[in-house]
Amino acid sequence: ETEILPLRFLIGGDAIVSKGKSGGEGTLLRPSLQKNGKIFKGDATVWQRIDSAGLPTSKPSEGAVTVLCFRECHDPSEKYELLAVGCKSGTLSIFKIRRTGLERNMEEETSEDIEVVTRAQAHAKAITSMCFTAGGDSIITSSSDWTVRVYNIKEERFTEEFTDTSLVVCAVSLPKPGALITANANAVLQLRGSSAEQQKVRLDHYARSLMLALGGRRLLAGTSRGHVHFFEISAQGLERLNHEGLQVGQNCAALTCLTLAPCPDNPPLVLANCMDNTVCIMQANEQLTNLTVQRRLANAHRLLPLRSSHVPGYYEDGDKGAGFVASGAEDGKVRVFDLESFTEQSLESRAVPTVPVVDVAVTKQGSLMASGDVHGRVFLWRRGGDTNGLVNGH
């Protein structure tokens, strides 16, 4: 049984700060901690971690977190964020996390209540990927039990199930209702819930990560041999744009996650978690048909399917920048990389600093971050109002 315990304490360390295009300082996460109705400013640190216990199993690895996902919140007055947690045991848990007054643009101070929405045995084996549908009403999960399932949050039940011919490595939801793309261990991409003719494409090696861009018209697939393939998604189905694939992983290292990082006034960056102990930062062209490697930043990653998230930089003066990427790491840290200066910081759990962190997720507003580890624990991170600390590039 998954349970979140609201144990709160401050974590030592300075704010993570970035320089924007016009020189303004941008910080990791929008301030959301409150005290007496105002932005909280700690004496020693701006970070607060909300500790959450994971699955009580006889062996910690049985309840390992495999994937985290926040639902996009479009209404500023929404009271809760929804966090979905998928585990190695095949369980799916959904939590409501109360948003603070700062997140709702209100003066009131609210508690950080956490409520269990769902605990369900989604699959017989590990959940390999997970995403909310376009409207946020359902969650799509894929699994090594060869199935993909769709869970309707309001109805509290699974409404659809697809059985594949092999282990399903990952799946993504398309903007069209009911449409999704799956990737299996036989190196087959399949477009489901669509009347398109070209519904299946075979790759040279199986895809370990899928990423949508350009409003769902472009698909990037990162493979087990370190290639990135580009696809156009249209009424005709999946059209391959590069037949050989772009080599990204060094020495054919697998790509376990692809993340899009929008950049103001420029084409986006694409970030890849590579099983060669790096996070690779690449510049895309406007059509997202090619990538140019900018930097390879050190990150402990050899064995696990680590994931990452883009975190928009928060600028009080309205400035914009490329922001940050927050990634899991096998050394027990959340690695944070500044996408302006390519410098690195890290957040660490003092309770169990060496337990590998598998996934990191961030809310759309950029005020709440979650990290999940192989012992089945999820940690929620918020920030106060102080911005004293390291300025990247200095």
The predicted-structure confidence for 64-90, as pLDDT tens digits, reads as follows 999 999 999 878 788 899 999 999 999
pLDDT at 353 over 70: no
- Alpha-carbon span 358 to 372, nearest angstrom: 6
The answer to whether the Cα torsion of 107, 110, 112, 118 is positive or negative is: negative
Do residues 89 and 128 lie in contact, with contact meaning Cβ atoms separated by under 8 Å? no
Distance of CA 308 to the CA centre of its chain: 5
- Alpha-carbon span 393 to 321, nearest angstrom: 14
Q: What is the pLDDT of residue 13?
A: 37
The predicted-structure confidence for 229-244, as pLDDT tens digits, reads as follows 999 998 888 999 987 8
Q: What is the pLDDT of residue 343?
A: 86
Between residues 329 and 24, the one the model is more confident about: 329
The predicted-structure confidence for 317-326, as pLDDT tens digits, reads as follows 666 778 899 9
- Alpha-carbon span 234 to 287, nearest angstrom: 15
- Alpha-carbon span 328 to 257, nearest angstrom: 11
- Alpha-carbon span 12 to 335, nearest angstrom: 15
Sheet strands (E) in 133-265: 138-143, 147-152, 157-163, 168-173, 180-184, 188-192, 200-202, 207-213, 218-223, 227-234, 237-240, 246-247, 255-263
Q: Position of tokens 């924007």?
A: 20
The predicted-structure confidence for 131-184, as pLDDT tens digits, reads as follows 999 989 999 999 999 999 999 999 999 999 999 999 999 999 999 989 999 999
pLDDT at 285 over 90: yes
Q: Which of 51-55, 106-110, 276-280 has the highest mean pLDDT?
A: 276-280
Q: What is the pLDDT of residue 240?
A: 93
Distance of CA 332 to the CA centre of its chain: 17
Which residues make Cβ contacts (< 8 Å) with residue 293, sequence separation at least 6? 248, 280, 281, 282
Report the run of H or E that residue 344 belongs to, with start and end: strand 344-348
Beta bridge partners of 391: 17
Q: What is the pLDDT of residue 380?
A: 82
pLDDT interval class at 7 (50, 70, 90)? very low
Q: 52-66, 245-259, 298-312, 323-337 — which is least confidently predicted?
A: 52-66
Which of 125, 176, 115 has the alpha carbon at shortest distance from 149?
Answer: 125
Q: 76-90, 92-106, 297-311 — which is least confidently predicted?
A: 92-106
Q: What is the pLDDT of residue 365?
A: 85
The predicted-structure confidence for 102-142, as pLDDT tens digits, reads as follows 788 776 655 557 888 888 999 999 999 999 999 899 999 99
Secondary structure letter of residue 198 according to DSSP: B
Which residues make Cβ contacts (< 8 Å) with residue 305, sequence separation at least 6? 66, 128, 208, 256, 257, 358
Q: What is the pLDDT of residue 109?
A: 57
Secondary structure letter of residue 199 according to DSSP: -
Sheet strands (E) in 245-351: 246-247, 255-263, 266-274, 278-284, 291-298, 308-311, 313-315, 324-327, 333-338, 344-348
The predicted-structure confidence for 187-209, as pLDDT tens digits, reads as follows 999 999 877 777 999 999 999 99
Per DSSP, the three-state class of 248 is coil
**Buried b / exposed e across 117-137, counting CB within 10 Å, b at 16+?**
ebebebbeebbbbbbbbbeeb
Do residues 55 and 63 lie in contact, with contact meaning Cβ atoms separated by under 8 Å? yes
Q: What is the pTM of this model?
A: 0.87
Q: What's the chain's Rg over C-alpha atoms? A: 20
